[in-house]
Structure 1
Amino acid sequence: MSQHISAQAAACSDAPTGPSTPSGPRPAPGGTSPTRPGARPALGGPAVVAAAVLWGTTGTVGSLAPSGAPPAAVGAAGLALGGLLLLLSAPGARTLPKRGTGSERRLLLLGVLAVAGYPVTFYPAVARTGVAVATVIALGSAPVLTGLLAWATGQARPTVRWACATGAAVAGCAALVLGPLAGGGGTPVDCGGVVLAALAGLSYAVYSLVGGRLIARGHPSGAVMGVLFGGAALLVLPVVLGGDTGWLLSPRGAAVAGYLAAVTTFLAYRLFGHGLRHTTAQTATTLTLAEPAVAAVLGVAVLGERLPAASWCGLAVLGAGLAALALPTGAGRRRR
């Protein structure tokens, strides 16, 4: 798990996660009302979960980086390379700031700062209070903060279904990640680290809401993700170039950085952007809690890690919460 979180912090900044809701008249099944016109929640949920599955591979892949490669630099390299790839490959990404209105340019700037802010706050949180606690606070607070911010800004009101599913998913995530600490010996909780982890969750919520809001206004999801992550790539580039870059020039280091860039950043965020077009930010950020579940399963299957019974129970609760949110209801299908 610890390897997963280190790489995830910068590669998925991450992240998450999960954006805004537009101003359409129809309620969104499983989320909070309303989604963008023409939205198809049955397509949005699977796309977000697919992105989360890809993000969940970052820990396993990151563990293959050359020994001595700084985890922050490994993650930042994935974000920098993948973000630039998103910017250069998405049609309309480079002209979006020019074509947008003044308020949209301000939203883009806020989103870029939020994407770059996730690793800046998450890594120090890990250093101060440990991987498990920082992960639960950052990833667990993101969907809750997204829902509250969307409600506060008048974008959508949380539904009972979303609240129940999110509560179950967050509780399951906490049991999954904190289960190994049940026997004691974990890193003491540090108040400063808790605040930093909460700020990481806030960063994830903000860039998700910004991305969703811009997509709801009719901008292509690829262009929006390209600008947000391309801009953030430039901001985190000093993290990559500021230290020893020898690991990046080795075949193994280049392969790891290439995977993080092409798969967990470029492909995953294209899927995430597509998901945001068809579902609400609140639902999307909750569904990305599939990420630690995937990372845990890969840790057991590939890296030979062991999970206690509490973690397996948490995994089951997490899966149930995500399934309740991802599967459209009969009412939701009738409204479409």
Structure 2
Amino acid sequence: MPNRLSAPARARSTPAARPARPGTGPLPILASALLWGTTGTASSLAPGGAPATSIGAAALVLGGLLLFLTDRTAWSLPRVCGVRERWLLVVGAVAVVGYPLTFYPAVPRTGVAVSTVIALGSAPVFTGLLGWLTRQGRPGGRWAGATALAVLGCGVLVLGPELAGGGRAVDLLGVLLAALSGLSYAVYSLIAGRLIAAGRPSAGVMGAMFGGAAVLVLPVLALGPVGWLLSPRGAGVVLHLGVVTTFLAYRLFGHGLRHTSAQTATTLTLAEPAVAAVLGVAALDERLPAASWCGLAVLAAGLAVLTLPRRR
């Protein structure tokens, strides 16, 4: 992703100007999507009285603090950054908080499937538009074609069971909340990519943003019921979501952003619902209609277009 911030000359070789190798860019991002794909299966094992917003807040507090405390560059990053970069970190932290606070309330209104499609499907579009508007690079034809394929495949994959079962009434507020969660994801992905392209360490950028988000979301966790956290099942779910799907996944995501543009990264993370669907079939004995399997194939084709190296 092109860098428009002041940066050392050695940091000006950005992902947009330097094609990513699959082992350094796409693969870590696909690995993070694989970890995120376990979120639905893990959260379904939470105790019955645990609100979805509290589960998301608890996972963000644990994972965000781990990202911040395990990397020393995250502690010093706000001090060594300029004023503009500090504001970017603040906006990024707010955007990180915005994702769970908009996505989880959208789920009971529109359902998991529709919320997932709107949030993940809109994120690459928002990222491409915002990246273009902020002069971080205009998406190319390959990205546009691959994103269109991936979004289409994601929609057919996730909405297949909904369509087979007759669907449900559309809730406009739920749709808006899900779209806002996609916008939040796009914003903090772009900000992280911009700071990393400016020469800031990827682990430090993720640690600073998610550490700030953990502090911001603490009141949400404190004001909700917390008794479920004391049960072995509740603690196990939060440990998985905080350590695996937040700490490890965003470490990989930040590493991938060093070699891949945010536009491409958000498209690659559309692999998440594919992983979730396969896990549902394998671990929860769910069944997918034929349309969903076709959507999975289309999604895989779109991701392959972005992952495979370009022919010289």
TM superposition score category, shorter chain reference: over 0.9
Q: Answer whether contact 1:42 1:328 (CA < 8 A) is retained.
A: no
2:216 to 226, 235, 238: 235
Residue number in structure 2 paired with 1:181: 162
Residues 84 and 229 in structure 1, CA contact (< 8 A), matched pair in contact too: yes
Q: How does 1:76-95 map to 2 (within 5 A)?
A: 76-95=57-76
Q: Deviations over 1:95-122 (max 9, x none)?
A: 1111100100010011011110111221
Q: Aligned partners of 1:21 and 1:87: how far apart in 2?
A: 26
TM-score by structure 2 length? 0.93
Contact 1:51 1:271 in 2 (8 A): yes
**What whole-Å deviation, never above 9, does each CA across 1:237-289 have from its counterpart, x for those lacking one?**
22222222111111221111111111111110000000000110011000000
Matching of residues 297-312 of structure 1 within 5 Å: 297-312=278-293
For 1:77 and 1:248, locate their aligned partners in 2 and report how far apart those are by CA, in whole Å: 9
**Residue 17 of structure 2, aligned match among 17, 31, 34:** 34
Aligned amino acid, residue 172 of structure 2: C
Deviations 1:128-187 (A, max 9, x none): 322222211111010111011111111111111111000000000000111111134433
C-alpha contact (below 8 Å) 1:44/1:276 kept by paired residues: yes
1:4 equivalent in structure 2: none
**After superposition, what is the alpha-carbon deviation per residue over 1:68-89, rounded to whole angstroms, capped at 9, x for unaligned?**
2222212221111010010111
Contact in 2 for aligned 1:137/1:198 (Cα 8 Å)? yes
TM-fit CA distance, 1:125: 2.1
CA deviation profile, 1:217-245 (whole Å, cap 9, x unmatched): 11100000001111111122222222221
Q: Which of 106, 112, 131 is matched with 1:150 structurally?
A: 131
Which string of whole-angstrom CA distances, capped at 9 and with x for unpartnered residues, describes residues 264-316 of structure 1?
A: 11110000000000110011000000101000000000001111111111111
Query: Are 2:244 and 1:263 aligned?
Result: yes
- Following superposition, which runs of at least 4 residues in structure 1 exceed 6 angstroms of deviation? 24-27
What is the number of residues matched between the two proteins? 306
Structure 2: how far apart are the matches of 1:22 and 1:53?
A: 28
Alignment-derived partner of residue 136 in structure 1:
117
Whether 2:268 is the aligned partner of 1:291: answer no
Q: Distance between the aligned counterparts of 2:53 and 2:14, measured in 1? A: 40
State whether residues 12 and 198 of structure 2, in contact with CA within 8 Å, keep that contact through their aligned partners in structure 1. no
Q: 2:106 aligns to what?
A: 125
The residue correspondences of 1:1-336 to structure 2 (distance < 5 A) are: 20-22=1-3, 33-35=16-18, 40=21, 42-331=23-312
The one-letter code sitting in structure 1 at the alignment partner of 2:61 is A
Structure 2 unmatched runs, 5+: 5-10
Give the Cα separation in 2 of the matches to 1:193 and 1:185. 19
Question: How far apart are the structure 2 equivalents of 1:59 and 1:134?
Answer: 12
- Secondary structure in structure 1 of the residue aligned to 2:73: coil
Does the 8 A contact of 2:196 with 2:205 survive in 1?
Answer: yes
How far off is 1:66 after superposition?
Answer: 2.1
Secondary structure, in 3 states, of the residue corresponding to 1:94? helix
> 1:133, 1:189 within 8 Å by CA — same for their partners in 2?
no
Superposition deviation, residue 27 in structure 1: 8.6
SS in structure 1 opposite 2:248?
Answer: helix
Residue identity opposite 2:188 in structure 1: Y
Query: Does structure 2 retain, via aligned residues, the 8 Å contact 1:150–1:209?
Result: yes
Answer yes or no: is the 8 Å Cα contact 1:162–1:283 preserved in 2: yes
Query: Which residue identity lines up with residue 72 of structure 1 in the other structure?
Result: T
